[in-house]
Amino acid sequence: MTASKKKSVLLKIAKYFGITFVVILGLLFLLPIIFADTIKEQIKKTANEKLSAELNYSDVSVSFFHHFPSLTLTLSDLNLNGSAPYKNEKFITAKEISFGINVASLVFSKTVKIDQIYLSDSFINVKVNANGEANYNIYKSSSQASNPKDSTETTLKLERIEILNSKIIYDDQSTKVHFDALGFNYKGKGNLDKAVFDLYSVAKIEKLNIIYEGEPYLMNKKVDADLITKVNVNSLSFFFQQNNLKINQLLVDFKGKFDFLKDGYNMDFVIKSTNSHLNDVFTAFPPKYITWLSKTELKGNTNLLLTLKGDYIASQKIAPDLNLDVKIDSGFVNYNKSAFPVSNLYLDVKTKVPSLNPDLVIVDAKNLSLNINKDYLKSKFHVQGVNTPDINGEFKAQIDLEKLMKALGIPDIELKGNLVGDIKTNGKFDAKNRLFPVTKGSIDLENGYLKTPYYPNPITNITIKSKIENNKGTFDDLKVSLKPTQFTFEGKPVFVEADLSNFNDLTYDIKAKGELDVNKIYKVFSQKGLDLDGFVKADLVLKGKQSDAEKGNYSKLHNKGTLELRNIGITSEYLPKKFIIKEGIFKINQDKMSFNNFLAAYGQSDFRMNGYLQNVFNYATTNTGVLRGSFKVTAKYINVDEFMSSTPANTSVTQTKTETPAPTEAKKTGVIIIPSNLNLQLIANAQKVYFDKLILKNATGNLNMNKGKLTMQNTGFNLIGCNVVMNANYQAVTPQKANFDYNIKASDFDIKRAYNEIEVFRKMASAAEKAQGIVSLDYQLKGRLNGNMEPVYPSLTGGGTLSVKDVKVRGLKMFNAVSKETSSEAMKNPDLSKVDIKTTIKNNIMTVERFKFKFAGFRPRIEGTTSLDGKLNLKMRLGLPPLGIFGIPLTVTGTQDNPKIKVGRKSQDLEETKDTEE
């Protein structure tokens, strides 16, 4: 072939290629334009049919060049809301989301196939509330989606997913798991249109944060992942077949299964790292360890295994089982180039938490050991349970604590001293059944020193020599020896020596001498939410048996010494405020603890106490010991209301049949509770006592507290100028209920002053508003108090006599009504010279026995019943002048505020209100 012909052929080929290229290039521009409307229409139609959430975007474009060579439909500025209950909150926002379209399906098929998704600069915000309801359930099920009758359909058959430069936040309040993935890049391939498919994924995360129950576990970690995941779309389950993760420098193998249930999850995860370097492990630790790691030389091999298996259903309190195995061998730790590094570090710990329940935890530490030169620490233990743990352990140590703290770089706490220990223990600790593990060993500390960040000065010269022995596994065989224990704090030495044995009948031999500032010693071990203060100085020798103290065999005891207290705060579950001992010296002799001129305060109340207490040691060391004593209390002022229990009441009220909620009860403050382990006699004298808006003056009396019951004998006080004498019993049944009975005698009681100054009198005798005069009372009453220390009227029973002397009744509605009915003006404002009115109370009804009186020539006779809430049913005979031989029979019904008077004897009995609770 000649050169010219060759040239001609090449030109033709170039021409055809050129034409073809131009055609293809033209098609690349024209096809998106030709099919744009079809594609856009089908995308919108598919979104409406397949998505239950609101979808918005600013613009739609179709192009071959966005993700060449794929034909892609791109939605700009996409916003996709979540499913209920998050329909008004964003689930996915993205600068762009592109859908790769199968070109052949456009030309040769009536079905538009989307086989690729590209997501860039997106924010995926996954939320799950406390009930397990999530915002990602946006895809309609087949039953929800309408079946389009149009022959043209759009199908989602994914083969590729790419996510670029995105952010994911996952916040699950049901599991308390939160994680952030920032700078997230992901590529996934697989035949995603199948019901079951394999997804091959490569993921990179610039910063990963994982937080569980508010505690950061991973912060700002870099992650590389190569994953193979089998996905079942029908059951929404994931099977992680091959997953290699790299968290900073730590290589992790991750396999498992994750299924979405109707109201939770099913999990079966296995996460392990084999033969990793100890340093690499710490690069994946929480952020507070990173600063420490930068100054620490770490060597050694580690093996980690974490499994999580089971259902997690928050609403049914079902949780999976957690297992964690950690092994370290040939470990080496040297913080900040310490001269004494930790070597030969071995750790082999297996932890099991069935159903994520800490009460069922099992910790099996087969080996925990290390060396610092020739110093050593060796330990192994197996613990099962928390409330009554079963313990099997050994501990041996001969180590300089200062060297250990420096080598490990433990921050904030300075600890020094030579520790020597050798202990073996095996068995169950169960205080209720008096079980203690079989134990033998000793722990000694010399030249000890402790300084914490909470207080500027250390505890120094700490010496502890202790021995513990128990051969039978019971409390009665337990022996503890501290000979000696001593330390110096703020320049003041404290010395304690003790021998304790038989904890069922504690045999004790204790010597204690020294001074302690409780406030300062507390600050060394400061904790939020707790406050202690006060000063204690002791010089004590205590020797004896608990049973001898209980039985009163005081001659067998040898208890001597003094205990000085200043500004000691005492808190109790029974008292809402702190009881403060301002100053006092206890003198201890055998089982008696005497005190003279003890000064104390409680809220606004002040007390000066003299007397003695017995069985103090038994009371302080056991739950059953009864504190006995007798003392005299004088006070200038006592506010009884401040002693009310603060236990909240249950205010739930059953709804009526009409489903209208009943009004909520008022918040109850609680009754005064007398502790059951007190047997105390008090002679009390208070200048002023404030109780339930009453002011009592010159209160005196004998009070006994025994087995939770308070008895008052010949208790007297002055109330509004009236001398009152009471005998009473009081006992709390619950924090919101108390029983009482009392006998009260009050002489020459001024009615007008009582009405003006005593609220409870106004409530129970509202008719006395305009009365004047003097009365006396002799009454017995028993009943129940509610959570506000108020009487429950239906529970009251009793009776007595009200003596009336020189009383003027003015404006009483009942007498006004009688006056009107009988046309007798004199009946409006009667004056009574002397009348004894006897009454009884039961079932909310006060029964008034028949009594007579006379005034202005009339001789009335009254009897009947009134209810404690003001209803009347009285029978009255109005004897007419001159001698009352002839009279008018009347009935008084209605209420005290609105009495109804009728001539005659017939009336309807008042309805009793029985005490249903009793």
Report the DSSP pairing between strands 638-639 and 605-614: unpaired
661 CB-contact burial (10 Å; exposed 0-12 / middle 13-18 / buried 19+): exposed
Instruction: Tell me which of 149-158, 842-851, 861-870 is least confident.
Output: 149-158
At residue 100 the predicted structure's pLDDT band, cuts being 50, 70 and 90, is confident
Question: Which H or E element spans position 893?
Answer: strand 887-894
DSSP state of 140: P
For range 600-607, the mean pLDDT: 81
pLDDT at 112: 55
pLDDT at residue 397 in the model: 94
Name the percent of the chain lying above pLDDT 70. 74
> Is the pLDDT assigned to residue 113 strictly greater than 90?
no
- Least confident window among 304-308, 579-583, 834-838: 579-583
User: In this structure, what token pair is assigned to residue 261?
Assistant: 């249930």
| Interatomic CA distance for residues 691 and 711, integer angstroms | 17
According to DSSP, residue 667 is labeled: P
* pLDDT for the residue 666: 47
CB contact set of 179 (below 8 Å; sequence gap of 6+) = 168, 169, 170, 208, 209, 210, 211
Cβ-Cβ contacts under 8 Å for 399 (sequence gap 6 or more): 372, 375, 376, 377, 418, 419
Query: What is residue 82's predicted lDDT score, i.e. its pLDDT?
Result: 84
Structure tokens at 73: 């439909």
Other CB atoms within a 10 A radius of the CB of residue 58 amount to 9
Q: What is the pTM of this model?
A: 0.57
**Phi, then psi, of 550 in degrees rounded to 5:** -65, -40
Greater model confidence, 457 or 322: 322
CA distance 374 to 657: 80
Q: What is the pLDDT of residue 55?
A: 79
List the beta bridge partners of residue 196: 232
Element of type H or E holding 308: strand 296-312
Q: What is the pLDDT of residues 456-500, one digit of tens each?
A: 778 889 999 999 999 999 999 999 999 889 988 878 888 999 999
Report yes or no: 595 and 585 within 8 Å, Cβ to Cβ.
yes
Q: How many residues does the chain have?
A: 918
Q: Does the pLDDT value for residue 650 go beyond 50?
A: no
The beta strand positions in 677-796, using DSSP E, are 678-691, 694-706, 709-719, 722-734, 737-750, 771-785
Beta carbons of 177 and 212 less than 8 angstroms apart:
yes
pLDDT of residue 235: 67
Q: Tokens at residue 512, please?
A: 């204690």
- Asked if pLDDT for residue 170 goes beyond 80, the answer is yes
Q: Which two tokens stand for residue 898?
A: 């609105």
DSSP alpha helix (H) spans, 180-336: 278-283, 290-294
Cα separation of 18 and 569, whole Å?
98
How far, in Å, CA of 202 to CA of 206, rounded?
14
- E strands along 751-871, which residues? 771-785, 797-809, 831-842, 845-852, 859-867
Please, which pLDDT band fits residue 669 given cuts at 50, 70 and 90? low
CA distance 452 to 523: 9
- The pLDDT of residue 422 is above 90: yes
How far is Cα 203 from Cα 223, in angstroms, rounded to an integer?
A: 8
Which of 664-668, 749-753, 763-767 has the least mean pLDDT?
664-668
The model's confidence at residue 83, banded by pLDDT at 50, 70 and 90, is: confident
- All residues at 6 or more sequence positions from 863 whose CB lies less than 8 Å from its CB, including other chains: 848, 849, 850, 851, 874, 875
Amino acid at 503: F
Window from 297-306, 310-319, 634-643 with minimum mean pLDDT: 634-643
How far is it, in rounded angstroms, from Cα 77 to Cα 72? Answer: 16
**Which residues have C-beta within 8 Å of that of residue 911, sequence separation ≥ 6?**
none
Residues 6+ apart with CB under 8 A from 33: 62
Residues in contact with 459: Cβ distance below 8 Å, sequence separation at least 6, in sequence order: 448, 449, 450, 451, 487, 488, 489, 521, 524
Predicted confidence (pLDDT) per residue in 674-720, tens digit = 888 888 888 888 888 877 677 788 888 888 888 888 888 888 888 77
Least confident of 103-112, 324-333, 342-351, 365-374: 103-112
